[in-house]
Chains A and B, each alone.
Chain A
Amino acid sequence: MNAAVISFPGSNCDDDLMHAIGTVLGERVTKVAASATTLTGFDLVLVPGGFSYGDYLRSGAIAKFAPIMPALKAFAAAGGYVLGICNGFQILTEAGLLPGALQWNTSLQFICEPEPLVVANAHTAFSNRYRAGQTVTLPIAHGEGNYYADPATLQAIEANGQVVFRYAHNPNGSLNDIAGLTNAAGNVLGMMPHPERAVEQLIFGTDGLGVFESLKEAIEEGAYAAN
């Protein structure tokens, strides 16, 4: 596995991802500045959490015009694996790589809590180490995590099995309790909870490790590679 972590001005979970993949998983991982224009040689690209460009205008609205984005879109279009977490999820929806949008939490509060999730689909490159129906607890930390899509889009998402994680106790008003979902092709996942913050027993447990181990397995087996 040879992963890239895109670092935008205002990203603050890029180092957590570097630690999870580089130190805990022991895989190759490189931080790539948002001002770069190529992603050649990587087989996984991670879009981290934080507040890219201060979340000015809307979360992710400025990041979608960053110099790296044409390369990210080309990488995704070629079947490369892309994982966006928290602000990364917001960026991927703004960029049109994932359907829908993330709205303000219905409580209008920034919520920072360990959150139980139910694995809705264990047959994706991001979740093959979990079992369908399994409950995993991952930290959430967001003000705008309330997933919205219009009814026709939502129906298509569900029919296509794109929902990977659902909240066990919906904390933010997300439609259909959606905490994480893939694109139709299944090679791009966005999720509000933070798997990279749950990879060590000492801190929040290891429930998040499965996301990265699933990707490692998928990449090594080439089972999900488009090319």
Chain B
Amino acid sequence: MFKAKIYVNYKPSVLDPKAQVIQNTLRRLGDDNVQDVLVGKYFELTLAAADQAAAEAQVARICDEMLANVNTETFRYTVEELAVAQ
């Protein structure tokens, strides 16, 4: 079994009004040293796969087809093999 941890974020060129509201509010509250805010999504998938390479290839496809809209978002992920219970 493998665990994939997936982060999906807007591309830097895409305006994210939610992140702007958070940053503006932080500034108003005195946290005016916050230079940038990035709001994204986090997913964990647990999957059975033949090996690490197969798991990674499948996760990449799932991100590209479903979890991210590649017009506006980028994704990155890690895939770890889970320790098998003895």
B66 x A61 contact (CB < 8 A): yes
| Complex-state Cα separation, A146 to B66, whole angstroms | 21
B14's partner among A94, A105, A107, A148 (CB-CB below 8 A) is: A148
Residues of A within 8 A of B35 (CB): none
Chain B interface size, as a band, is 10 to 19
A101 x B18 contact (CB < 8 A): no
B18 x A100 contact (CB < 8 A): no
Residues of A within 8 A of B18 (CB): 104, 108
Asked if A65 is at the interface of the complex by the 8 Å CB criterion, the answer is yes
The smallest beta-carbon distance between A54 and chain B, in angstroms, is 15
Interface centre among A99, A104, A105 (most CB of B within 10 A): A104
By DSSP majority rule, is chain A's interface helix, strand, loop, or mixed? loop
B14 x A108 contact (CB < 8 A): no
Interface centre among A61, A99, A146 (most CB of B within 10 A): A61
B69's partner among A94, A105, A173 (CB-CB below 8 A) is: A94
A103 x B66 contact (CB < 8 A): no
A104 x B69 contact (CB < 8 A): no
Interface residues of A (CB under 8 A from B): 57-58, 61, 65, 93-94, 99-101, 103-108, 146, 148-150, 173
Interface residues of B (CB under 8 A from A): 13-18, 21, 66-67, 69, 71-72
